[in-house]
Amino acid sequence: MKVATGLGQDSHRFESAPSGKPLKIGGVLFEGAPALEGNSDADVLMHALVNAISGVHGVVVLGPVTDALCQAGVTDSAEYVKEALKHLAPARLSHVSCSLECSRPKVGPQIEAMRRNLAALLGLAERHVAVTAHSGEGLSAYGRGEGILATVIATAEIP
């Protein structure tokens, strides 16, 4: 058995003019928080996860495929992750490690909800989905509250 890893990143800035769209991170709604700019639901963690899965199989999904889905009315980023997973066989995801950099909203209280949600989406046990968050001491645009950066490493086993 071989092991492959994929690295994925994505970032979105907060909307300058509120559109009324909710903020979703890792499929979890953050009530009352400002939304992120983007043509889809702008779920930055899901998008980084799509890129991490692409990092395993080499097929770029975020952009070429997801833009077409978005234009067809599919704005739920969980659907983009499912699209990325279609190219994974015969490899199988075994673990994902996610990191968020932002100073707002406070994501700490929702980390377990994000893990549960992503584990269900990926068909993994919760112990194989890790989510951490930090503010980077305000050194970056994310730490200054201008947007959110997500980084994901996906590990897959190849029989």
Q: Which residues sit at the interface with Zn ion, rule CB under 5 A?
A: 10, 47
Question: Look-up: residue for tokens 């509120």?
Answer: 18
Q: How far is the CB of 92 from Zn ion (least distance, A)?
A: 25
User: 77-85 vs 44-57: helix axis angle to the nearest 10?
Assistant: 10
Nearer to Zn ion, 8 or 91 (CB): 8
Please list, in sequence order, all residues whose beta carbon lies within 8 angstroms of the beta carbon of residue 64, skipping any fewer than 6 positions away: none
- Chain residue at closest Cβ approach to Zn ion: 47
Q: Which two tokens stand for residue 17?
A: 């003019």
Distance CA 6, CA 85 (A): 13
Nearer to Zn ion, 23 or 91 (CB): 23
Q: How far is CA 124 from the centre of its chain?
A: 15
Q: How far is the CB of 70 from Zn ion (least distance, A)?
A: 11
Please list, in sequence order, all residues whose beta carbon lies within 8 angstroms of the beta carbon of residue 145, skipping any fewer than 6 positions away: 14, 102, 103, 104
Q: How far is the CB of 106 from Zn ion (least distance, A)?
A: 21
Nearer to Zn ion, 13 or 128 (CB): 13
Nearer to Zn ion, 10 or 122 (CB): 10
Q: How far is the CB of 45 from Zn ion (least distance, A)?
A: 9
3-state secondary structure of 16: coil
